[in-house]
Structure 1
Amino acid sequence: MQISNCGYGLVKQLVSQKKEVNLKQCFKSILQDLLCDRFDAYFFSKKCCHVKAQIEFEFTVHASGVLQLEESNTSLNLFKSALQELPEHIKLLKHPSRVFFFAKTDIQPLGGLIVVNKVNNTDAIALSDNEEGLILHLLEVYFLQLKLLHSSAVDPLSQLLNRQSFEQQLTGIIQSESYLQTKKVRSESRWFLAMLDIDHFKKVNDNFGHVIGDEVIVLVSQLLKSHFRFDDLLFRYGGEEFAILFSTESAELAWKLLDRARELVANTRFPQVNHVTMSVGFIQVSADFQLSELVDNADKALYFSKDNGRNQVTNYQQLNIEPHVISDCDIELF
């Protein structure tokens, strides 16, 4: 491996990736090329940017055969154990049989890599200093690019995910539901889409100004983030409207979770405005609906809440609305 010749090209490959899934696959391919059949490698990362997110096993470059679940768990425990004992300024830790690479900011670890000599290969060549330096640099570039991708998916005011990422995430969930439906696999948890809207928000802007209106959006966003799990997906859909994608066991539990969020907002004292309420509508995500239909139906439940007194949660499936069947005469070509 010609380190001096390939380093720039490998960095260029990573920073050219515009989607997280492509970035991860690119990094995995780079590791496969670098390590060839000499080493096994285990990669770990936080699943999201939330401060409570835990470092989890992501993938392996496995030269010695098929990875067993116990092996991935063991490697993750080894990594976490080493991370806890690691001095703040250290990013590389060598052991006789493995090398730990760590990526971290000043305040928290982001993830890292364990590289292990190939199993049952006593003649395995140790990583050179140049190889170690390159892998450490590529790891830092990976997480920097990941941060940039996350930043592009975040609404700058609310610090929630933005509408573009909403459509991408919901599309992925619909596809996964379609796959499970095709394979006739029944999952214990179900995905739900909720649309939330701040009641009488125009009056807030008219009476207190847009600066206070922005503060209301920020505080509502913080309350929602504190209420939902870090692996639930929270979005600022537009203006004073929010969207949440979350999983739970039943529609009843989904309603309770959303109603507690509604109650949390209603019981919070907002600066100058004092009290704010939210109306909520939700629907279970199903492969039977297209993305636009899911959003439209969740919106119908939301506006049912608004039309019937506001500050409440409505399940679309309980409205007993007949599905609209699209006929040829409904389609306008011009």
Structure 2
Amino acid sequence: MQEELLNSVIKLTKTRDVNSLEYSLVTTLHEFIQCKEIAVYKDMQDSGQRIIERSLVLHFSDEKRYHWEDNCFIEEPEPELISCLQSACIITVQSSDGIEQRWLPISIFDKPIVAIKLVTKPLNSSQQVLLNAFCRIYENYLTILNENERDKLTGLLNRQTFESRFKQLLEKQVMSKKVIAKDKNARKRHPESCSWLAMVDIDHFKLVNDSYGHVCGDEVLLILAQQMRSFFRASDLIFRFGGEEFVLIFEPCLQEDIKEKMTTFMDHIRSITFPFVEQLTVSVGMAKISPYDFPISVLENADKALYYAKNNGRDQMHFFDDLLNEGLLNNQEPEADDDNVDLF
């Protein structure tokens, strides 16, 4: 038993990303506590609004038959789940047939952000000890992974996490394409929709640092990051790539929809008052993400569209495919920021 426990802890802490850690936790819990269901819920708070994502769920009909369910957002969370996240306390409810539903909170820096749900027969004391111990190990390791995946200044995802998140998105997109291909009604509901990558760059950011110092520059970056978090959906991935450059990945939608969304975002940023800066603008390069693309290829496409925007006046957005079709990408070279331009 002790050897099995040690091997399970080793397996749990061997993972290097949050999604793999979730899978390890769920399989480990079922190994020691026979469950009818294990689910992981995330509190994706967005501008004060609680948005619950069920990121992982495993159902068991018996010891040999089980199935996983895809992640989804929960429109009407169970009151016990909300209570667990609000109080950071374990919530247990037993039905008339003796089956227990148990919610366990997982916190980072004393803030509950995850709830683990188990549907089981009543647990004995040793099972409860094991369950709580594995949840605490998961909590501690999740804190470490979260710190490693996040940019220290803005709290956004960092560049090192981009490739793994991109890969997960493509895997999901390939599965979705297979489902749509088999379903004629699904093809009608999703005409020509695809995922999109946006590369966002602050215009003339060097002037902010040179004129007012890096403390002011950091404040501008922090406010912009906060605005992006509040403006876009909780399911959209936002990365800080370094300096004044950000990358966003959006779930499948039509080009006109993402264009409208990004245009509204750019208008919103123009309306924000930043420290010492009367008006801040951003340039945006957009690239389509196809199911079998390499991350570097999509980044390069968005980067070319971004530099076209910066070379042709800044404060604008361009799509790589549109520029390519119009023959506008020949001999495009990055233009250096002009320190002599008076913006503020």
Matched length? 308
Alignment of 1:32-43 (within 5 A): 32-36=30-34, 39-43=35-39
Give the strand-richer structure, 1 or 2.
Answer: 2
Residues 248-291 of structure 1 show CA distances to partners (whole Å, capped at 9, x for unaligned) of 42111111111111111111111112321100110111146432
2:284 is equivalent to residue 280 of structure 1: yes
Aligned mates of 1:241, 1:224 — CA distance in 2: 13
Report the Cα offset of residue 217 of structure 1. 0.9
- 1:17 is matched with which residue: 10, 15, 18? 15
Q: Does 1:138 align with 2:134?
A: yes
- For the pair 1:102 / 2:104, whether they are aligned, the reply is yes
Matched, 1:214 2:214: no
Q: 1:91 touches 1:102 (CA, 8 Å); kept in 2?
A: yes
Contact preservation (8 Å) 1:7, 1:134: no
Deviation at 1:172, TM superposition (A): 3.1
Counterpart residue type for residue 224 of structure 2: V
Residues of 1 paired with 2:66 and 2:293: CA distance? 38
Aligned counterparts of 1:158 and 1:258: Cα–Cα separation in 2: 20
Q: Give the structure-1-normalised TM-score.
A: 0.80
Query: What is the rounded CA distance, in whole Å, between the counterparts of 1:226 and 1:9 in structure 2?
Result: 41
- Give unpaired runs (5+ residues) of structure 2: 182-186, 330-344
Shift of 1:60: 1.9
Paired position in structure 1 for 2:336: none
**Residues 89 and 296 (structure 1), Cα distance of their counterparts in 2 relative to 1, 3 Å cut:** closer
Match status 1:309 vs 2:307: no
Distance 2:31 2:117 in 1: 15
Structure 1 segment 83-102 matched on structure 2, within 5 A: 83-84=81-82, 88=87, 90-93=89-92, 95=94, 96-102=98-104
Q: Supply the AA of the counterpart residue of 2:14.
A: S
Distance 2:308 2:279 in 1: 22
Q: Please, what TM-score do these two structures have when normalized by structure 2?
A: 0.78
Q: Is the 8 A contact 2:39 2:118 kept in 1?
A: yes
Letter in 1 for 2:102: F
Aligned in 2, Cα 1:78/1:62: closer, same or farther, shift over 3 Å?
Answer: farther
CA RMSD of aligned residues (A): 3.2
Rounded to whole Å, the distance in 1 between the matches of 2:300 and 2:39 is 40
**What is the alpha-carbon distance in structure 2 between the residues aligned to residue 313 and residue 78 of structure 1?**
37
Q: In structure 2, the residue corresponding to 1:159 is in which secondary structure? A: coil
Match of 1:165 among 143, 161, 167: 161
Q: Which runs of 5+ in 1 are unaligned?
A: 118-125, 325-334
Identity %: 26
Match of 2:209 in 1: 205
Per-residue Cα deviation, 1:206-234 (whole angstroms, up to 9, x for no partner): 11111111111111111111110011000
Amino acid at match of 2:16: K
